């Protein structure tokens, strides 16, 4: 099927494009861009007046739960959720059963994604940095890279041993693939369920201190100085001091990058007073000052990427005492709306900068093919309506799980379609 996408504002940070154009797609490839293109016979015209077209968005931090935890999410349902949220690619974390720590599991994830995601969403595995995510023996990085892994992480747990992290940085540097660190000193966080501070004291909930994150990032940056050819990425950064550490490391010229989740630049630890277990995640929601710091660091380029840490859990798993509930929330279907509301509307980011955080930068960090909206390039696109107002209704999520603290929240801006592998999928 061939398409003429008409009257859209095209935003592409790679080519520097930001203008209203028509886009002709022939056999999945961009044929032409122009202000006055018309459709030939056999070309479907799609009027996108008032809409934006951007290079396809990537969520570089999701938990698809397959294999092993299909009652929470499957690769198929996770891809449906990603498509609904406007993503044409997701990178799935290795805390599955079995762990993504050998090439057979990595290949399974990739092939299953090709089979069940209808060609709309590409699935890339993040492999475990250590066998079984135990933090001891390194995974076979060469084999995993060959199988298609695009990063290494023990996410859900930190690489706690300094020597193991040093070795992980050394070996991963041979393949140009980043180590993605869940930054947490586990000796300081056992039993914690929320941010340690005034609110946790008032509520009587054991806390997770900000210093646990900051110590681990500081240690890892010191190791990166020792292994300067390695690439190091901080997952779900959450404190002001953490952003200060990343800023300083970047100024040194170290290959450090960072991501933040929408919930960490939107919600504070005050919402935990509801005892809604959908406010429980790791790292926990922090203070209002930390939320402001996340927005400032995004604006300044200290934080490179917006990623969801999409972590599905069933209703039964979440409907327990706060201290017993698992960490994590789903985020694929609310990420764009929250980001436009909290960052673009509040003038921390322009729309072009937002596209960088969702598309250009994650592709650069993970060495994925960079998408360019120009003639001769494959059409891999996210289509947005940045003006539309809508209310979050978790009962309508495509994800198998509904564990979101944003149910009922009014947002402005969302994805209305994606285009990938020659096919247009409307999501509104």
Residue range 347-375: mean pLDDT, rounded:
98
Whether 428 has a pLDDT exceeding 80, the answer reads: no
State the CB neighbour count (10 A cutoff) for residue 351: 18
Which positions ≥6 away from 204 have C-beta within 8 Å?
A: none
Provide the CB-side half-sphere exposure for 230 (13 A, CA). 24
Whether 253 has a pLDDT exceeding 90, the answer reads: yes
DSSP string covering 335-352? HHHHHIIIIITTTSS-HH
> Distance from CA of residue 42 to its chain's centroid?
37
Share of the chain above pLDDT 70, in %: 100
Whether 38 has a pLDDT exceeding 90, the answer reads: no
Q: What is the DSSP letter of 287?
A: -
DSSP string covering 2-62? EEEEEEEEEEETTTTEEEEEEEEEETTEEEEEETT----TTEEEEE-TT-EEEEPEEEEEE
Active-site positions?
309
Pick from 216, 147, 209, 152: nearest CA to 178: 152
Which positions ≥6 away from 16 have C-beta within 8 Å?
A: none
Q: Give, in order, the Cα–Cα distances in Å from 388 to each of 82, 119, 318, 341, 355.
A: 19, 27, 31, 11, 18
State the CB neighbour count (10 A cutoff) for residue 389: 12
Query: Do β-strands 57-62 and 17-26 pair in parallel, antiparallel, or remain unpaired?
Result: unpaired
Which positions ≥6 away from 49 have C-beta within 8 Å?
A: 6, 7, 8
Whether 347 has a pLDDT exceeding 80, the answer reads: yes
**Cα–Cα distance, 6 to 322 (Å, whole number):** 50
| Residues 314, 105, 149, 403, Cα dihedral to 10° | 0
Specify burial of residue 311 (Cβ count, 10 A radius: 0-12, 13-18, 19+).
buried
Model pLDDT, residue 42: 87
Q: Give, in order, the Cα–Cα distances in Å from 295 to each of 181, 240, 251, 282, 321.
A: 21, 10, 19, 19, 32
Q: Give, in order, the Cα–Cα distances in Å from 6 to each of 9, 62, 374.
A: 9, 33, 15
pLDDT in tens, 194-229: 999 999 999 999 999 999 999 999 999 999 999 999
Whether 39 has a pLDDT exceeding 90, the answer reads: no
pLDDT in tens, 282-301: 999 999 999 999 999 999 99
Per residue in 200-217, is it b (16+ CB within 10 Å) or e — as a string?
A: beebebebbbbebbbbbb
Return the domain boundaries, the chain: 2-52+376-426, 57-366
**Cα–Cα distance, 352 to 373 (Å, whole number):** 13
Q: Give, in order, the Cα–Cα distances in Å from 49 to each of 6, 340, 389, 423.
A: 7, 19, 16, 20
> Where residue 40 falls among pLDDT bands split at 50, 70, 90?
confident
The CATH number corresponding to 2-52+376-426 among 2.30.40.10, 3.40.50.300, 1.10.287.610, 2.102.10.10 equals 2.30.40.10
Residue range 367-381: mean pLDDT, rounded:
97
pLDDT in tens, 50-106: 999 999 999 999 999 999 999 999 999 999 999 999 999 999 999 999 999 999 999
Secondary-structure percent of the chain, ordered helix, strand, coil, rounded to 5: 35, 25, 40
> Where residue 41 falls among pLDDT bands split at 50, 70, 90?
confident
> Where residue 118 falls among pLDDT bands split at 50, 70, 90?
confident
CATH architecture of the domain with residue range 57-366: Alpha-Beta Barrel (3.20)
Q: Using an 8 Å Cβ cutoff, are 304 and 357 in contact?
A: yes
């Amino acid at each position: 099927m061939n398409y003429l996408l008409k009257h859209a504002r095209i935003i592409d940070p790679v080519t520097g494009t930001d203008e209203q154009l028509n886009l002709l797609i022939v056999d999945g490839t961009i044929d032409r861009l122009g202000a006055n293109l018309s459709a030939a016979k056999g070309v479907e015209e799609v009027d996108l007046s008032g809409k934006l077209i951007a290079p396809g968005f990537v969520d570089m931090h999701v938990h698809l739960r397959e294999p092993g935890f299909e009652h929470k999410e499957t690769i198929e349902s996770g891809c449906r959720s990603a498509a609904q949220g406007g993503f044409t690619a997701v990178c799935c974390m290795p805390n599955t059963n079995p762990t993504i720590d050998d090439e057979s599991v990595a290949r399974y994830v990739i092939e299953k994604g090709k089979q069940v995601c209808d060609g709309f969403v590409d699935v890339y595995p993040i492999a475990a940095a250590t066998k079984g995510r135990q933090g001891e023996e390194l995974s076979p990085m060469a084999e995993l890279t060959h199988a298609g892994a695009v990063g290494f992480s023990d996410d859900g747990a930190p690489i706690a041993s300094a020597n193991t992290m040093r070795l992980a940085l050394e070996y991963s540097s041979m393949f140009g693939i980043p180590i993605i660190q869940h930054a947490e000193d586990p000796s300081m966080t056992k039993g914690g369920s929320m941010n340690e501070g005034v609110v946790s004291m008032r509520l009587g909930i054991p806390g997770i201190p900000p210093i646990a994150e900051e110590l681990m990032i500081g240690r890892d940056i010191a190791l990166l100085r020792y292994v300067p050819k390695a690439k190091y990425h901080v997952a779900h950064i959450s404190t002001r001091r953490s952003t200060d550490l990343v800023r300083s490391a970047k100024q040194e010229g170290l290959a450090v990058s960072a991501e933040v989740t929408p919930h960490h630049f939107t919600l504070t630890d005050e919402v935990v007073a509801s005892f809604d277990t959908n406010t429980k995640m790791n790292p926990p929601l922090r203070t209002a000052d930390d939320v402001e710091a996340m927005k400032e660091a995004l604006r300044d380029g200290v934080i490179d990427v917006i990623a969801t840490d999409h972590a599905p859990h069933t209703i039964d798993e979440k409907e327990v005492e706060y201290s017993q509930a698992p960490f994590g929330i789903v985020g694929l279907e609310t990420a764009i709306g929250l980001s436009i509301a909290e960052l673009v509307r509040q003038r921390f980011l322009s729309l072009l900068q937002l596209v960088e955080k969702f598309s250009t930068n994650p592709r650069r960090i993970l060495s994925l093919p960079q998408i360019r909206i120009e003639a001769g390039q494959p059409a891999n696109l996210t289509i947005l309506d940045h003006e539309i107002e809508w209310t979050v209704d978790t009962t309508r999520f495509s994800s198998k799980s509904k564990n979101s603290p944003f149910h009922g929240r009014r947002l402005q801006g969302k994805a209305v379609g994606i285009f990938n592998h020659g096919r247009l999928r409307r999501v509104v």
